[in-house]
Amino acid sequence: MSSNESSLPDPDALFEGAPCGLIVTTEDGAILRANSIFISWVGFSQAELNGRRFQDLLTMGGRIFHQTHWAPLMRMQGSVAEVKLELRHREGHTVTMMLNGVRREHGDTAFFELALFSTTDRDRYEKELLNARKAAEQLLWEKTAAENSLQQAQAELNVAYEKAQRRAEFAEQMVAIASHDLKNPLTAIKMATDILAQGERSAKESQLLGHITQSSERAQRMIADLLDFALARVGHGINIIRREVDLHAVTAQSVSELRVAFPQATLVHEQMGSGTVDLDPDRLQQLIGNLVANSVAYGDVRHRITIASETQPGHAIISVHNEGPMIPPALISVLFEPMTRGSEQDDDVRSVGLGLYIVSEIAKAHDGEAEVCSTEANGTTFSVSFPNAGSIT
């Protein structure tokens, strides 16, 4: 015997202290010996187990499985491996174990040597693994369902967008057509009014003709805004024809005409710098008219409205200042959008809510930008800068 073999524990101690349940039975299952770990798992004493058949410790399902499966395998092939069984504890509850067994012959007698392992940790692991798999499958299903819903929603959104786009284009075309067709009758009305105003009329008739003139001029401004809006929305943008003009002279002429259109307001023109600029004079007058109309509509006409024109080298600025209520900060970010108004008041100078949008589009057509600054203390100032207008002295 080698020194290593002589230092091993006693075989009986190894059997008793094995880290698994060990049982030796006869071929018909009668327990001859069981170690302490198995005894502790099933709750029976060694004396209670001696002579008891191993299959009697099994549940009903385990007995059927023993009789039909693993006992015949032990006799035929001499071993079984990783057979999962449920044993009844002495107190009545079940204990799940994994069984490995071999059939050995000693002389004329055959014995079954069984090793059993507790599956508590393994069952917990398998349960967690199964739960994790179910959770992953659920997440995958939810992801697939969400992607399908998203694709369906995207398809519906695309269809709705195309319909809305067609409707918007049709509506803009109708606005452009209607606006264009209204210009001729309005021009005829204004010409007839001017002719009638040349003759001798009573005070009442003159007043009525004045109202007709003002209404037709307002309608013409609305039509011009609608036409420009339709052009801008269909992607053509506002047309401009640049030429060299005197910024201050164009502004002064516009202010003079606006004094007639808005007699209730005090319009003051201030100018800074000198020289000519490269701009579209007609669009410039339209821009000033829209800003002044906005100031008359929403500012305080008891205070003057200041129209300032400024020229600098390579730069030109038009600004219109009015006193009145401060524009709410939330409104400023959308003020230059179409159909946006500063209030819901109803008066003769209000249009269709396109004035500031047209101002912004005219500025963009000149590579410029429209801005607004509004405070309680200093009132409201709309300014339009033309960075590439130039200033030729």
Contact 228, 361 (CB under 8 A): yes
Distance (Å, rounded) from C-alpha 52 to C-alpha 65?
Answer: 18
Buried b (16+ CB within 10 A) or exposed e, 80-91: beebebbbbeee
User: Given the structure tokens 């800074």, which residue do they identify?
Assistant: 272
Measured between its terminal Cα atoms, the distance across the chain in Å is 121
CATH superfamily to which 243-386 belongs: Histidine kinase-like ATPase, C-terminal domain (3.30.565.10)
The pLDDT assigned to 4 comes to 58
Equal fold, 125-233 vs 243-386: no
The one-digit pLDDT tens for each residue of the chain (393 residues) are 555 555 667 888 888 888 889 999 998 899 999 999 999 999 998 888 988 999 999 999 888 988 888 888 888 899 999 888 889 999 989 888 889 999 998 888 899 999 998 887 777 777 888 888 888 888 889 888 888 888 898 888 888 888 777 766 665 666 666 555 666 676 777 777 777 777 777 777 777 777 777 777 667 766 776 666 666 665 566 788 888 999 999 999 989 988 888 889 999 999 998 888 999 888 898 899 999 999 998 899 899 999 999 998 888 999 999 998 898 888 888 888 876 655 555 444 445 577 888 899 889 989 899 999 999 989 999 999 998 766 555
Backbone phi, psi, residue 101, to 5°: -145, 150
Give residue 231's Cα distance to chain centre: 31
Q: How far is CA 140 from CA 110, 137, 149, 289, in A?
A: 54, 5, 14, 62
Q: What is the CA radius of gyration of the chain?
A: 49
If DSSP codes are grouped into helix, strand and coil, which group holds residue 352?
Answer: coil
Contact 104, 111 (CB under 8 A): yes
If DSSP codes are grouped into helix, strand and coil, which group holds residue 194?
Answer: helix
Class of domain 125-233: mainly alpha
Enter the pTM of the model.
0.49
If DSSP codes are grouped into helix, strand and coil, which group holds residue 88?
Answer: strand
Q: Indicate the DSSP class of residue 389.
A: S
DSSP for 55-76, please give it: GGGB-HHHHHHIIIIIHHHHHH
What are the structural domain ranges in the chain? 3-118, 125-233, 243-386
The pLDDT assigned to 391 comes to 58
Distance (Å, rounded) from C-alpha 366 to C-alpha 147?
Answer: 46
Distance (Å, rounded) from C-alpha 13 to C-alpha 11?
Answer: 5
**Which tokens in the block code for residue 292?**
């002044």
**Beta-strand pair 79-88/94-106:** antiparallel
Q: Which of 119, 54, 128, 110 is nearest to 82 (CA)?
A: 119
* Helices vs strands, H then E, count in the chain: 12, 12
Q: Indicate the DSSP class of residue 31.
A: E
CATH superfamily to which 3-118 belongs: PAS domain (3.30.450.20)
C-beta neighbour count of 186 within 10 angstroms? 16
The pLDDT assigned to 350 comes to 45
Distance (Å, rounded) from C-alpha 295 to C-alpha 326?
Answer: 12
Distance (Å, rounded) from C-alpha 386 to C-alpha 366?
Answer: 6
Q: E strands within 132-171?
A: none
